[in-house]
Chains A and B, each alone.
Chain A
Amino acid sequence: MSEFDQLYRELILDHYKNPRNHGLLDPADARAEGQNPLCGDEVTVSVRLGAGDVIEEVGFDGRGCAISQAATSMLTDLVKGKTATQVAEMQKEELLDELGIPLTPVRLKCAILGLGVLKVALHKARGTSLPEEWGTSTRDLVLD
């Protein structure tokens, strides 16, 4: 298999071209946006929670590389039916197994952007734990 086919395997291209759960929910119980400063990928995730904080519906919007958008699309399928706590504790490997492609450290950041943003959304809405790399955005610069 060529290197191209390994990375951009059919499933990835399918999710990129036909993203699942695309479009933001309104209203939503949890919502967050995030960026990957390395390549400028952007993802916004919105979630509706049912009894026991189970994720009933999830929708996302974004723009960026095929890996970041396809991974977020696959993630939305993966997390439906899980509780907020389960998602907060979800290891990145679970998503990476689903992706099933070799990733360099730089592209890894693309792949787990959506997962990080979803965890931030649940953290804001339900106080669940945050991945460590998302804990630093204090004292951001905001101009009125």
Chain B
Amino acid sequence: MAVTTDPKLDAHRLRADFAVFEELVNGKPVAYLDSAASTQKPRPVLDAMREFYEHSYANVHRGVYRLAERATTGYETGRRKVAAFVNAPSEREIVFTRSATEALNLVAYAWGFDNLGPDDVVVVTELEHHSSFVPWQYVAGRTGAAFRAIPIDEHGELQLEALDEIAREGNVKVVANNLVSNTLGTVNPVEQLAAWAHEQGAIMVVDAAQAAPHRTLDVQALGCDFLAVSAHKMCGPSGIGALWGRRELLEAMSPFNLGGEMIRSVSLERTTWNELPYKFEAGTPAIAEAVGFGSAVDYLSDIGLDAIERHEHELVEYALGRLSELPWIQLYGPPAERRAGIVSFNVEGVHPHDVAQVLDWEGVAVRAGHHCTQPLMAKLGVSATTRASFYLYSIPEEVDRLVDGLHKVKKSLG
């Protein structure tokens, strides 16, 4: 019988890795509840980048000298770690990009323009972040393909019964979905969508920017064709993301950005493309950021993604429990067991920006707005929500400070 582990992380201890928690803002320590927007950075990641800059920095790939060799090794080690993190069959299938957004644009442009036409259908969902919604809406519009969104129910969960009707509208060629909704925290049934997409002869493109920090990722188990992640949402630096793509698709695709590094040979009449993944990496990449990305992957892996997921689940359960005691709070999204560490809500009669402003005076950092999900806001019938999001360093005391702050919001503005 397999031994089951019951991993548990010690968030209070992990906070010592994050200098920002020693910081006082307005005389108060920060209750940072905006990790879904971007996470704080642990010392090991910052140290790895600093050390790289101080001891191994040069431009990558071309240099014959040793420093360039070290830099290239650092950059490619980052790629290898990211490949292992998403369980990619090959490192060649990992393309470094500026962000998850750029990774999704790469697929929409480089695959979409060559493969979509007037009889085709591109399918997204009402839960998408704009980065997974707008590129496909744009490319569909430019190629004449139809653009459809899978609707959600009142809990913010996908209504898959709508798929049959969508399939009748034409040749479904693309299904794009986020694994975890950045606004509601909904964990979406991507495996099921990928299976349906493949039955239609479509590709499955997964935005995992919001999933990668919080749960074990396995591109092979998901059964998708492309998957995008972003380092800054998972303890790594901003300015770098990664696209995983199935090799045969990447090979058949045109390049996205053109210039140095992505070529094999150039002449006036003919230019040929470099091998994977360099075909998609024009220009000097984010080198130290790749090192930091790799270090962030190590940091998360050492803690354990299962432990992180479990810790966030406990915080979400606690937060939902405490917030649901307040009758003037409107909560959005699915029950705790089907959501990641994100809680979206509104305070009756108070705009989210005012909620966030008052909370800031209490040292509580939350996000207020449409969270780059305007179609979802329209569906919920609101212009904005307040969002609290948790990560491996979040603690129940911060949820308590949020609730205390909300009482002040209600008292002063409600």
| Chain A residues within CB distance 8 Å of chain B | 34-35, 37-39, 42, 104-107, 132-143
Contact = CB atoms under 8 A, between A and B. Distances in A.
Nearest to B72: A105
Contact of B271 (A104, A106, A141): A141
Given A106-B72, A136-B273, A37 B92 contact: no
A139 B270 CA distance: 11
Interface stretch (B59-67, B134-142, B183-191, B384-392): B59-67
Interface residues of B, number: 32
B272 A137 contact: yes
Contacts of B270: 140-143
A138 B273 CA distance: 8
Given A133-B275, A133-B276, A135-B251, 12 more contacts: A35-B265, A37-B278, A38-B61, A38-B62, A104-B66, A106-B64, A132-B92, A136-B275, A138-B252, A139-B114, A139-B254, A143-B270
Interface string B383-402: 00000000000000000000
A136 B271 contact: no
* Most chain B CB atoms below 10 A, which of A132, A133, A136: A136
B216 interface: no
B302 interface: no
5 contacts: A104-B69, A106-B62, A136-B250, A140-B272, A140-B273
A32 to B, nearest CB: 12
A132 B247 CA distance: 10
Contacts of A134: 275
B68 interface: yes
A136 B277 CA distance: 9
Interface of B: 61-64, 66, 68-69, 72-73, 92, 114, 250-255, 261, 263-265, 268-276, 278-279
Contacts of A42: 265
A43 to B, nearest CB: 12
A105 B277 CA distance: 16
Nearest to A133: B275
Nearest to A141: B271
A136 B69 contact: no
B62 A137 contact: no
A89 to B, nearest CB: 20
Contacts of B279: 136
A35 to B, nearest CB: 4
A136 B61 contact: no
Nearest to A109: B61
A37 B264 contact: yes
A104 B271 CA distance: 27
A138 B64 contact: no
A105 B69 contact: yes
Contacts of A104: 64, 66, 69
A138 B276 CA distance: 11
A139 B273 contact: yes
Nearest to B275: A133
Given A38-B62, A134-B275, A143 B269 contact: yes
A23 to B, nearest CB: 22
Contacts of A132: 92, 275
Given A104-B64, A142-B270, A137 B69 contact: no
A64 to B, nearest CB: 12
A106 B76 CA distance: 12
Contacts of B66: 104
A37 B69 contact: no
B306 to A, nearest CB: 33
A138 B253 CA distance: 8
A143 B272 CA distance: 12
B62 to A, nearest CB: 6
Nearest to B64: A106
Closest 8 CB pairs of A and B: A35-B265, A133-B275, A140-B272, A141-B271, A136-B275, A139-B254, A37-B264, A142-B270
B269 A136 contact: no
A37 B252 contact: no
A106 B63 CA distance: 8
A138 B202 CA distance: 21
* Most chain B CB atoms below 10 A, which of A105, A133, A134, A140: A140
A139 B263 contact: no
B265 A37 contact: yes
B258 to A, nearest CB: 9
B253 A139 contact: yes
Given A134-B275, A137-B272, A142-B269, A106 B252 contact: no
